[in-house]
């Protein structure tokens, strides 16, 4: 497995990871309308490409195929992990952990913060195993969506 910064040539693969994972994971938690609104809002090319151009989107590849992605940026006093998604068939392969380890390394002396949907117990367990601690619950960024759990990991 190889982790690297995404390039513009990875745009379709990054979007594929996000859309495929959203459609496989979120409908039981959020319903279809939330999923489709989130895909339209956060997985359109014009929503993904700026992060790729800024060098803040990472991909994990297996046999030259993108199987996972992460996006992050410095936000206020921390590094915010905005997205971390692994194709369903590649979950459990270590791709997500490899990406998260690289994001943590890039944080330097900043804490790393992330959110996940209430009800996404699998994500919560993964983040806890990697040293993240729940710190708050915030409203959904999409009307009528589930709340989000905020988790943070202190700087190394």
Of 104, 115, 109, the C-alpha closest to 148 is: 115
Q: 119: Cβ–Cβ under 8 A, 6 or more apart, which residues?
A: 29, 30, 146
CB burial readout 118-144, b (16+ within 10 A) else e: bebeebbebbeeeebeeeeeeebeeee
Of 47, 25, 42, the C-alpha closest to 126 is: 25
Please state the pTM of the whole predicted model: 0.94
pLDDT tens digits in sequence order for the chain, 156 residues long: 999 999 999 999 999 999 999 999 999 999 999 999 999 999 999 999 999 999 999 999 999 999 999 999 999 999 999 999 999 999 999 999 999 999 999 999 999 999 999 999 989 998 999 899 999 999 998 888 899 999 999 987
């Amino acid at each position: 497995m190889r982790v690297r910064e995404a390039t513009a040539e990875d745009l379709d693969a990054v979007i594929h990871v996000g859309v495929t994972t959203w459609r496989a994971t979120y409908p039981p938690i959020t319903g279809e309308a939330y999923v489709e609104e989130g895909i339209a809002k956060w997985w359109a090319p014009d929503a993904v490409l700026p992060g790729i151009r800024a060098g803040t989107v990472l991909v994990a590849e297996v046999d030259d195929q993108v199987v996972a992605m992460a996006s992050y940026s410095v936000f206020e006093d921390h590094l915010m992990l905005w997205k971390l998604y692994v194709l369903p068939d590649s979950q459990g392969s270590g791709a997500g952990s490899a990406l998260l380890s690289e994001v943590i390394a890039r944080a330097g002396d900043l804490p790393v913060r992330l959110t996940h949907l209430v009800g996404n117990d699998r994500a919560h367990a993964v983040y806890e195993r990697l040293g993240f601690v729940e710190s708050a619950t915030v409203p959904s960024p999409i009307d009528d969506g589930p709340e989000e759990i905020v988790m943070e990991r202190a700087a190394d």
